Amino acid sequence: MSEQVRGRFITVEGTEGVGKSTNIAFIQTLLDDANIPHIVSREPGGTPLAEEIRNVLVVPRDEAMCELSELLLVFAARAQHLKTLIEPALEQGIWVLCDRFTDATFAYQGGGRGISVDLISQLQDLVQGRVRPDCTLLLDAPVDVGMARAGARGALDRFEQEKQTFFEKVRGAYLQRVEQEPDRFAVVDASADLNTVQANIAQALIAQIDLYNGGRHG
C-alpha cells in the first residue's frame, strides 16, 4: 500500500475587513471541484476548548488584558487546535484551510502590540514543533478600506476596537513576513474587484493542487 500523502496546510491572513470569509468560501469551491478532501477551521478557535479561549480573547471587557496574557492565550488555543484537529487531519491526507494562524500572532501581537519576534518564535517552536503552513494567502488592502468594511458589520470585538495606527503596524508586520518568506506567501490585492481577487487566489491554489497531485501520483 502506498504511503499516505500529507494534506496541505493553507492559511488565509489579513487585517480586518479584507474579505477572508468570502474568499475562504471561494477556496472551498476550488477544493471541492478538484475533489480534494479538506476541512475549514479558524484561529483563535477550531475546537470547543479553543473556541472558549477565542471568546476570552475577542469579547471586550473592563479589565485590560495584558499583552503576555493575550499571547499565551493565542498559543494555548493553537496547541489544542493543532493536536486535536489540524495534525490528525493532515496526517490522513486531508487539507486544512485555516482562517488565520501564527502569522497573525507575528502581525497582531508582534507588530500591533510590540512583543518581540524572538519570543513569538520560541513559542511557535514549542507549540508547533516543525508544523508550518504550506501556503499562506495574504489578503492585503489599505487599512482604512478594511476598517470601513469591518465597521459596517456591526458591534466591534476587542481587536476591531483598536485604532488605525494599530492596524497599520499589523499590516506592516504581515508585509515583513512576506519579505522574509516570499515562497510561502501569495499576496493578493484585496482592494481590487472580487473577480480579480478570486482569479489571483485561484492561481495560487492551483499551484498547491498541482504539487499535491504530483506527490500522490508521482
Residues in the site for ligand TMP, rule: CB under 6 A?
43-44, 58, 74, 99-100, 104-105, 108-109, 159
Q: Is 69 labelled a binding residue?
A: no
List of residues 6+ apart from 103 with CB closer than 8 A: 11, 13, 133, 136, 138, 174, 177
Give the position of cell 515562497: 183
Q: Is 16 labelled a binding residue?
A: yes
CB of 216 to ligand TMP, least distance (A): 30
CB of 22 to ligand TMP, least distance (A): 13
Residue 36 or 139 having the CB closest to ligand TMP: 139
CB of 150 to ligand TMP, least distance (A): 8
Q: Write the DSSP assignment of 175-197 as a string of letters.
A: HHHHHH-TTTEEEEETTS-HHHH
Residue 7 or 111 having the CB closest to ligand TMP: 111
Q: Is 63 labelled a binding residue?
A: no
Burial class (CB in 10 A: 0-12, 13-18, 19+), 117: middle
Distance CA 192, CA 197 (A): 6
Q: Is 21 labelled a binding residue?
A: yes
Residue 95 or 108 having the CB closest to ligand TMP: 108
Q: Is 110 labelled a binding residue?
A: no
Residue 177 or 209 having the CB closest to ligand TMP: 177
Distance CA 177, CA 32 (A): 30
- Report the binding-site residues: 14-21
- Report the binding-site residues for ATP: 14-21
